[in-house]
Structure 1
Amino acid sequence: MTTRRLALLFPLVALGACTTPGADLPALPDAERTAYRLGPEDEVRVTVFNDPRLTGEFKISDAGVLALPLVGSIQAGGRTVPEVEREIEAVMARRNLFRDPEVAVNVIEYRPVFVLGQVERGGSYPYQPGMTALSAVAVAGGFNYRALRDYVSVTRVGEDGRAREFRANSRALLQPGDVVTVFERRF
């Protein structure tokens, strides 16, 4: 190989070595403030007014089902809290458990977010409403010394059930079940 070809090849190789991981990922779409949709592993408190025997805390199954005494199984996964409340009331009315049932459902524990990569303590962490990529990294002990701090990867399962990976800045709002990956920076 001639010296000229080597001189042309070297910048291309150096440029390829300098690319940052995850830079080619699509940007995470801006989060819309929509009603939260329940999912597997969410824990809810169901309050049936005028009957404390039916009130309690329940975990949504892997199949998205909420099993309640006397009511039976309710599909809760993918539905909002008000939708689940109305469904429980409708089942109670159909079964003549109450003439005019009133039910309240509150999420008491969301499914976790996961933080991986160049953080001090990667793992599973409780989701909190309004959690950002940066606050998830903070609960994982913060960036370690090798971390790329400009952006992270967020893997999210869409409504179609497929996981997709996106590039996100530190202010990106997370959703329960998201996986945040902090890349290693290139020196």
Structure 2
Amino acid sequence: MGRLFTCLLLCSLAVLSACAGPPKVDQRFVQALTAPYLLDSGDRLRIVVFNQPSLSNTYTVDASGFISVPLIGDVQARGKTTGELETTIAARLRAGYLREPSLTVQVDTYRPFFIMGEVRAPGQYPYVAGLTARTAVAIGGGFTPRAVQDVVVISRQIDGTIVEARVPADHPVRPGDTIYVLERWF
């Protein structure tokens, strides 16, 4: 009789937990969505130095967070906004190469996102603007029959550390995020 009661209690708790509302999203995740975009490895940048076609080019942020620009060498890009990188490059060009350098830095291609778990084609995919976890799942071939479809786990780098949170499936995805689609029990 005690085992039957324990089994019924556990089943009741499982049903009640499934009826709970969407999880509360970690405030750091919300703040990261409104914060300026910070460059990192894998971002491809278009840098145009006006009246200097030999310096204007597309550069990829390497694994150590640098881009290599002619004349001035390696420039730290990781953790900077495009505006901050513009300022850094202009200052280094001004220090011995150009009098008044005028340039722009734009993100040409964002670093990819990753999707794992209960999706038909897990892997690495190119980031597109306006991406949510649900559309990322669609890019990854859709949910498997065993997938939890209303909540996912997203891992995101925030202030140099990896932060994980359970979020609703309509939560926005940022470049570099890893999305994990959970398996349901029943």
TM-score bracket for this pair, using the shorter chain length: 0.7 to 0.9
Paired AA for residue 46 in structure 1? I
Structure 1 122/50 Cα, relative in aligned 2: closer, same or farther at 3 Å? same
Aligned ranges 1:1-187 → 2 under 5 Å: 3=1, 5-15=2-12, 27-28=25-26, 29-31=29-31, 32-95=33-96, 97-159=97-159, 161-187=160-186
Residues in 1 aligned to 2:111 and 2:65: alpha-carbon distance in whole angstroms: 12
Residues in 1 aligned to 2:158 and 2:35: alpha-carbon distance in whole angstroms: 14
> What SS does the corresponding residue of 2:156 show, helix, strand or coil?
strand
- How far is 1:129 from its partner? 2.4
- How far is 1:15 from its partner? 4.8
4+ aligned runs moved over 2 Å, structure 1: 5-8, 11-20, 25-34
Task: Give unmatched runs, 5+ long, in structure 1.
Answer: none
> What SS does the corresponding residue of 1:7 show, helix, strand or coil?
helix
Residues in 2 aligned to 1:165 and 1:64: alpha-carbon distance in whole angstroms: 23
- How far is 1:81 from its partner? 0.2
- How far is 1:100 from its partner? 0.6
Paired AA for residue 93 in structure 1? R
- 1:156·1:177 contact (CA, 8 Å) conserved in 2? yes
- 1:30·1:172 contact (CA, 8 Å) conserved in 2? no
- How far is 1:92 from its partner? 0.5
Structure 1 63/79 Cα, relative in aligned 2: closer, same or farther at 3 Å? same
Percentage identity across aligned positions?
34
> What SS does the corresponding residue of 2:150 show, helix, strand or coil?
coil
CA RMSD of aligned residues (A): 2.1
Structure 1 134/12 Cα, relative in aligned 2: closer, same or farther at 3 Å? same
- How far is 1:79 from its partner? 0.4
- How far is 1:37 from its partner? 0.6
- How far is 1:144 from its partner? 1.8
- How far is 1:162 from its partner? 2.1
Task: Give unmatched runs, 5+ long, in structure 2.
Answer: none
- How far is 1:105 from its partner? 0.9
- More off after superposition, 7-16 vs 66-75: 7-16
- How far is 1:17 from its partner? 6.2
> What SS does the corresponding residue of 2:183 show, helix, strand or coil?
coil
For each residue in 1:88-124, what CA deviation from the matched residue of structure 2 results, as whole angstroms up to 9, or x when unmatched?
Answer: 00101012x1111011111111111001111111110
- More off after superposition, 25-34 vs 78-87: 25-34
Between the two proteins, the alignment pairs up a number of residues equal to: 180
